[in-house]
Amino acid sequence: MNIYVLMKRTFDTEEKITLGADGSINEQDAEFVINPYDEYAIEEAIAQRDKNGGEVTVVTVGREPSEQQLRTALAMGADRAVLIRCDERPLDPHQTAVLLANYLKDKQADLIIGGNIGVDWGTGQIGPRVAELLGIAQVTTITKLEGEGGRATVVRDAEGDEEIIEAQLPLLVTAQQGLNEPRYPSLPGIMKAKKKPLEVIDAEELGLAETQAKTVTAGYFLPPKKTGGVKLQGDVREQARQLVQKLIYEAKVI
Amino acid sequence: MGRKFLVLAESRGGQLRNVALEAVAAARQLAGDGEVVAALLGDAGEDEANRLIRHGADRAVIVRHDSLKQYTTDAWFQAVLQLKEREQPGGLVMGHTALGKDLAPRIAARLQSGLVSDVVRIEAEGEVPVFTRPIYAGKAFERLRADDSFLFVTIRPNNIPFLPGDDSRSGRIDELQAEIRDLRAVVREVVRKTASGVDLTEARIIVSGGRGVKSAEGFQPLRELAEVLGAAVGASRGACDAGYCDYSMQIGQTGKVVTPDLYFAIGISGAIQHVAGMSNSKVIVAINKDPEAPIFDIADYGIVGDLFEVVPVLTEELRQALSAK
C-alpha cells in the first residue's frame, strides 16, 4: 500500500498560552511536538505498511523547524518525509489543503491518514478538504482500520457511537484517540532516520501564489481568568446540602 | 442589506438537536433581513420543520432519500450540493458536531470557499461579521473575518442561544427529492454506546471522573449522580489512559472540548490538558480529597473529601431537592 500521512507540528498540550506585546501567540520557549492526533496517524500508517507492504510518506506544511517532527516520524518508522516549506505567512485551512492536494494529486496514494484535528487551531478542515480536492472518499474520527484488497473496513467514532463503515480505496481517514498506541522512536530508529530521505519543496512551487486565504485572523484574546471560588465547610452531609442550595439558588444551573 | 442563509438542521431519532435551533439563531443574526431557510436531511419530519420556523427560520425544506436516513459523507454531500443549487444562498450554517465536522470542510473545498469552524460568538461589526472561535482547546480565542463571497460557518453547540419559540410565525415547508448515487463509503452497522443518549458536547450538565475514581466500577456513583441530573458522563485523560473508561468519554485538549452550564470534576486533579477542555464551562464544581489540587483554582464550588463518601450523599440530597422543586 502506498500510504501518505498528513502531519502538523504543534505546541505541546502541556503548554500555557500567552500573548505577546503585539497581540500574537507567544511561541518563544514553547515545546513543539507532533500533533497528538497525527501521532496516531503515523502509527497506523506504519502498522498498515508492516501488514500489507508498501511505503509510508509523512507530509507537512510549515516552517523549517517542522523538520524536527518529520525526523521523529521517520524515527518511528516512516520511510520518507516531505516538508512543504512556507516560512512567512500563516496559512488558512483552504490554502494548506490546496498545497497538500497539489502535492498528492499525482502520487497515487491508496491511503491517506491524518489526525482528526490539530490541537492548536482545531478546525479539523484539512482532511476532508484534501479528500474532496483529490476526489476520493473519506472517513473521519476512526478508531479502527482494516485494509484488504481495494477495500477497507473502518470503525468511526460518531459522538460515542460506533459506525462500522466499508469503504473503497483510495481513501482518506482521520485518526481519533483510541485508534492505536503510538510507539516511541527506538535508538536504532533514530539512527536510521538520519539517513532517510527528507524532501523540502517550496510552497510556491505548489501554487501558493495563486491560492488566496479565505479567512483572516483579526486578533486573539485569552479567556477571563477563573478565580477559585469557595471551598465548602462542614461534614459531608452539610457540604452536600450547601452545594445543592448554591447550585439551585445562587448559580441557578439546576 | 440582507443575505440569504441556508441552515442544515441536524436531528437525532426524529428530533431536532438543540444545535439546529442555535444554527437558525446564528443564521438569523448573519442574514439581516435576508431569508433563512432551514433544511432537514435526516429522519425528522414536518413537526420539526415547523419548530425551526417558530424559532426563527422563514421556511423549511425537507430533503428526502433513503440514503439520508443514516449519515454518510457521500450521500449528505450530494444532497447539500443539490439544495445549495436550488436555493442559491449566500451562506450556510451548521453545527460543529461529528456530522458537521465531517461534512462542512468537504463542501467548503467543493465550493472553494472559506469555512469558519467551531464558532462560539458572532458580532456584526458594521457589515462584516467577526467570528470568535476557541483555539488551543479554549486556552485562547481567535477573532476572524471571512471572505464574504460565501459565508460558511459551523457553530459549537451550547454557545449561541436559540431564539424563543414564537407560535405566530409560519412559513412554507417544501420537499426535495434528492438524487444520490455512487456511495464510496457505506455504514454497515451502528453500535450504540451512549446509553443515556445525552451527548457530551451538547450536554447542559456533565459529571466527569478522573484517576481518583480508581477503577471502571468507580464510575458507578458518578453515573448515579448524572442520572439524577440528566447529565452526560465524561472523564479525564488519566481515567481513560488507566482503562477505567472509553476514550470517547475523554474531555481535554486531546478529547472533547465542552462548555456545559454545570461541570462536576470528580477525582480530577486539574492537569492543564484536562482544564483546556472544560474551563469555559459556566459553573464548575470540584470534588477532590487533595485540598491543593489545581482544579480548585478554577472551581466555583469545591468540596475537599473522598469522592466515594461525598458523591452518594450529594446524589441523595439532589434527588430530594429536585423532587421537592
**Tens of pLDDT along A74-111?**
999 999 999 999 987 789 999 999 999 999 999 999 99
Do A108 and A204 have their domain in common? yes
| Å between A220 CA and nearest CA of chain B | 5
Residues A167 and A229 in one domain: no
Asked if B97 reaches chain A (Cβ–Cβ under 8 Å), the answer is yes
CB distance from B146 to chain A under 8 Å? yes
Contact B141 A254 (CB under 8 A): no
Residue A250 domain boundaries: 224-254
**pLDDT per residue as tens digits for the range B261-308:** 999 999 999 999 899 999 989 999 999 999 999 999 999 999 999 999
On whether any CB of chain A is under 8 Å from the CB of B201, the answer is: yes
Domains of chain B, residue spans: 5-177, 200-324
Asked if A82 contacts A67 with a C-beta cutoff of 8 angstroms, the reply is no
Name the residue of chain B whose CA is nearest to A226's CA.
B298
Q: Name every chain B residue with its beta carbon within 8 A of the beta carbon of A253.
A: 205, 261-262, 282-283
- Candidates A128, A247, A115; CA nearest to A174 is A115
Structural domain contains residue A219:
no
What average pLDDT does the segment A183-200 reach?
97
Q: Are residues A141 and A248 in the same domain?
A: no
* Cβ distance of B299 and A125 shorter than 8 Å: no
Total domains present in chain A: 2
Query: How many angstroms separate the CA atoms of A145 and A156, rounded?
Result: 9
Nearest residue of chain B to residue A174 (CA atoms): B102
pLDDT score for A236: 94
Is some CB atom of chain A closer than 8 A to the CB atom of B261?
yes
Residues A24 and A113 occupy one common structural domain: yes
Residue B195 has a pLDDT of 56
What is the DSSP secondary structure assignment for residue B307, as one 8-state letter? Answer: H
Categorize the per-residue pLDDT at A71 as very low, low, confident or very high, splitting at 50, 70 and 90.
very high
Nearest chain A Cα distance for residue B315, angstroms? 9
pLDDT, tens digit, 9 for 90 and up, residues B225-268? 999 999 999 999 999 999 999 888 999 988 888 999 999 999 99
Q: Which CATH architecture has domain B5-177?
A: 3-Layer(aba) Sandwich (3.40)
Share of chain A above pLDDT 90, in %: 87
- Answer yes or no: is A151 within a domain: yes
Residue A218 maps to a domain: no
CB pairs below 8 Å between A and B: how many?
282
Q: Do B105 and A16 touch (CB under 8 A)?
A: no
User: Chain B contacts of A207, Cβ < 8 Å?
Assistant: none
Residues A242 and A121 grouped into a single domain: no
Superfamily of domain covering B200-324 = TPP-binding domain (3.40.50.1220)
- State whether A70 and A143 are in the same domain: yes
What CATH number has the domain bearing residue A115?
A: 3.40.50.620
Residue of B nearest to A221 (CA): B141
If DSSP states are collapsed to H, E and C, what string results for B242-269? Answer: CCCCCHHHEECCCCECCCCCEEEEECCC
Q: Give chain B positions within 8 Å (CB) of A222.
A: 139-141
Q: Same structural domain for residues A237 and A184?
A: no
ipTM of the complex: 0.93
What are the strands, taking DSSP E only, across B54-172? Answer: 59-64, 91-95, 116-119, 121-125, 128-135, 140-146, 151-155
**pLDDT value for A60:** 98
Chosen from B153, B301, B306, B310 to mutate, greatest number of chain A CBs within 10 A: B301
Q: Does B242 touch chain A (CB under 8 A)?
A: no
Cβ-defined contact of A119 to B254 (cutoff 8 Å) = yes
Average pLDDT in chain A: 95
Q: Residue B319's pLDDT band (boundaries 50, 70, 90)?
A: very high
CA distance A59 to chain B (A): 20
Strands (E), A49-178: 55-62, 80-85, 111-115, 137-148, 151-158, 161-168, 171-175
pLDDT averaged over every residue in chain B: 94
Q: Does the fold of domain B200-324 match that of domain B5-177?
A: yes
Summarize pLDDT for B128-164 with one digit per residue, the tens: 899 999 999 889 999 999 987 899 999 999 999 999 9
Write down the residue that cell numbers 443518549 correspond to: B197
A150 & A33 share domain:
yes
Residue type for B96, please?
H
Which residues of chain A does B301 touch, with a Cβ-Cβ cutoff of 8 Å? Answer: 229-230, 232, 243, 246-247, 251
* Region label for B116, one of left (φ > 0), alpha (ψ between -120 and 50) or beta (otherwise): beta
The reply to whether A165 and A43 lie within a common domain is yes
A237: cell is 452531609
Residue A197 distance to chain B (closest CA, Å): 31
Contact between B5 and B39 under an 8 Å Cβ cutoff? The reply is no
**Distance separating alpha carbons of residues A38 and A180, to the nearest angstrom:** 11
Are A107 and A185 in a shared domain?
yes
Do B239 and B213 form a contact (C-beta atoms < 8 A)? yes
Identify the weakest region by mean pLDDT among A43-57, A134-148, B180-194. B180-194
Q: Does B11 touch chain A (CB under 8 A)?
A: no
Closest to B261 (Cβ–Cβ): which among A123, A212, A253? A253
∠ CA A197-A200-A202 to the nearest 5 degrees?
165
Question: Does B196 reach chain A within 8 Å, measured CB to CB?
Answer: no
Three cell numbers written together for B314:
450529594
The reply to whether B282 touches chain A by the CB within 8 Å rule is: yes
- A80 plus A23 within the same structural domain: yes
Cβ A41 vs Cβ A115: under 8 Å: yes
